[in-house]
Amino acid sequence: MTGTDPRPLHESPPAAWYLYALRTRDGAIYTGIATDVARRIAEHEGGGPRAAKSLRGKGPFELLYRVRLDDRRVALRAEHAMKRLSHAEKIRIASTHPDAATLLSLLGLDS
């Protein structure tokens, strides 16, 4: 152990999770979460078994928004809330690029 960090030296810190929003070729907005957004977009672009089925054949994709969230649980809750928004609401959020705290507040997840 080192300093105030209770993890053993061999244990890495938890991965950061990101919520991201993509625009498809036909203008639809897709929301997902990942620890490596660039890798995840490449998986979607490749259309292989790790690509989201709903995105197959709908590329190229434009990354509209990405925000770092605390952990996977928070990211999953934010993703679920984002997916329930209208197209216009998703565009409004993506265009203003809110930080994590503001996004969670906009989604009603700040409590």
The answer to whether 93 touches 82, Cβ cutoff 8 Å, is yes
Does residue 109 fall inside a structural domain?
no
Domain limits for position 43: 17-98
Q: Cα–Cα distances in Å, from 5 out to 16, 18, 62? A: 17, 23, 38
Six-digit token string for 6: 């209770």
Does residue 54 fall inside a structural domain?
yes
Only one residue has tokens 């993506």, namely 94
Overall average pLDDT of the 77-97 stretch: 97
Going by their DSSP bridges, the two strands 29-34 and 62-69 should be labelled as unpaired
Q: What is the CATH number of the domain that holds 93?
A: 3.40.1440.10
Does residue 5 fall inside a structural domain?
no
Does residue 7 fall inside a structural domain?
no
Query: Tell me, what DSSP letter sits at residue 84?
Result: T
Overall average pLDDT of the 47-52 stretch: 86
Overall average pLDDT of the 50-79 stretch: 93
Whole-structure pTM value? 0.85
Does residue 104 fall inside a structural domain?
no
Does residue 8 fall inside a structural domain?
no
Q: What percent of the chain has pLDDT over 90?
A: 72
Q: What are the start-end ranges of the H helices in 23-64?
A: 37-46
Give how many domains the chain has, as a whole number. 1
